Amino acid sequence: MPKDLEKYRKFLESIPLSKYREELKDIKWVEQDLVPMLYPLTSIFKNYWESQNFLSFEEWFTEFWNEMNTAQKQKLTDLKDLVRAHRKFYEDKINGDLDNKVFLGFKARMYRTWVSVLTQLDFCYLFKFICSKEGKDLQLECSAELDSKGIDARINNIGFQIAKISQRKEALKIVRKSRVVTIPYAVFDVDEFQRLSQSSRVKDKGGYKKALISFNKYFIQLNNGFVVFKEDYLKPIIDNITDIEKVKEVVGKILLELAGES
């Protein structure tokens, strides 16, 4: 594993996912559409892709929050007014210190975005690693600008979008777009799938067994629970990258496997 990918995955494994999940999972009262100036994409891509400055979430969020308070103070004030305007929906959540509540809500919103983009970047780091190993000169693009258009990565004229799936049936619902290939990213509850694959009450035990086999074939679950891509997932995509229809066939096969249908 080259230095960049190894360093990145060590960083991913250091994230205390369970801690943040417990702290932030129920904080969802800053869910309004944000103006572009409050989007964190530029900051995330700058740190974790362009400069490979792998800050912890707390370090990154503090930096971003301070930046917003300096450069976009009025936009944050406007956000507070939006939250206040929705008081009837969030009565129990924003009573009291509105400033602190908005801070916590914004932090929780940013955490979800942060983790999502880190997943996309794992795809990109692994893609570059495989190309380097196989001597393939493929130009991968990923940026805040592309992300804002719904494209997580682009190679040649093919766009890729990472879609999280937590249930088998979700794999079969992924919509395939003309020039964008949707990459299913499985975050299965492995323990639950194992239980279902052995339960006498479940008719389709074989489907869950197949889905688990496919999960382990295409993903690695790090010690902290973060799920990353395996070479077996990306290599056939890279080998067929000159033909979008073949890429779609490869991903379609993976979709069926993760759904326990193949």
Mark whether 224 and 165 lie in a shared domain: yes
* Residues 79 and 160 grouped into a single domain: no
pLDDT at res. 29: 79
Looking at the structure of the chain, the number of domains it has is: 2
Final residue of a domain: which of 97, 120, 143?
Answer: 120
Q: Give a yes or no: residue 145 inside a domain.
A: no
Other C-beta atoms within 10 Å of 173: how many? 11
Q: Per residue in 5-16, is it b (16+ CB within 10 Å) or e — as a string?
A: beebbebbeebe
Residue 33 gets which letter from DSSP? P
Q: How far apart are CA 71 and CA 2, in angstroms?
A: 37
pLDDT, residue 100, reads 83
Q: Which residue has the higher pLDDT, 253 or 31?
A: 253
35 and 107 together in one domain? yes
206-236: b (≥16 Cβ within 10 Å) or e? ebbbbbbebbeebbeeeeeebbbbeeebbbb
Q: For residue 147, is it within any domain?
A: no
Q: Which position has the higher pLDDT, 77 or 91?
A: 77
Residues 206 and 254 in one domain: yes
Yes or no: say if 17 and 225 are a contact pair by the CB < 8 Å rule: yes
Query: 196 and 96: one domain?
Result: no
Mean pLDDT of 229-235: 97
By percentage, how much of the chain surpasses pLDDT 90?
Answer: 73
Q: Establish if 141 belongs to a structural domain.
A: no
Are the C-beta atoms of residues 80 and 73 closer than 8 Å to each other? no
What letter does residue 15 receive in the DSSP assignment?
Answer: S
Let me know if residue 133 belongs to a domain.
no
What residue has token string 């979709």?
Answer: 255
Mean pLDDT confidence for 151-177: 83
Please tell me the pTM assigned to this model.
0.92
Is 150 domain-assigned? no
Residue 70 and residue 22 in one domain: yes
Q: How does residue 30 score in pLDDT terms, banded at 50, 70 and 90?
A: confident
Task: Read off the pLDDT of residues 180-227 as tens digits, 9 standing for 90 and up.
Answer: 899 999 999 999 999 999 998 998 899 999 999 999 999 999 999 999
* Position 87 confidence tier, pLDDT thresholds 50, 70, 90: low
91 pLDDT above the threshold of 70: no
Q: Would 246 be classed as within a structural domain?
A: yes
Residue 159, pLDDT score: 95
Higher pLDDT, 171 or 162: 162
- Residue at which a domain ends, from 58, 92, 120: 120
Q: Who contacts 28 (Cβ-Cβ below 8 Å, separation ≥6)?
A: 105, 108, 109
Residue 140 lies in a domain: no
Look up residue 35 and give its DSSP letter: P
Rounded Cα–Cα distance for residues 175 and 120 (Å): 18
- Alpha carbon separation from 100 to 76, 106, 110 (Å, rounded): 12, 10, 15
Q: Indicate whether 169 and 91 sit together in one domain.
A: no
Full domain range(s) for residue 47: 3-120
The position carrying tokens 């409050």 is 38
Supply φ then ψ for residue 23, to 5 degrees: -75, -35
**DSSP, residue by residue, 163-182:** EEE-SHHHHTTPPPPSSEEE
State whether 15 and 103 are in the same domain. yes
pLDDT for the residue numbered 94: 56
- Indicate if 16 and 113 belong to the same structural domain: yes
Could you tell me if residue 135 is inside a domain?
A: no
Assign 258 a pLDDT band (cuts: 50, 70, 90).
very high
What is the distance between the alpha carbons of residues 235 and 126, in angstroms, rounded to a whole number? 10
**Do 104 and 162 sit in the same domain of this protein?**
no
Closest CA to 155 of 84, 72, 244: 244
Same domain, 207 and 251: yes
Q: Is there a single domain that holds both residue 112 and residue 161?
A: no
d(CA 60, CA 19): 17
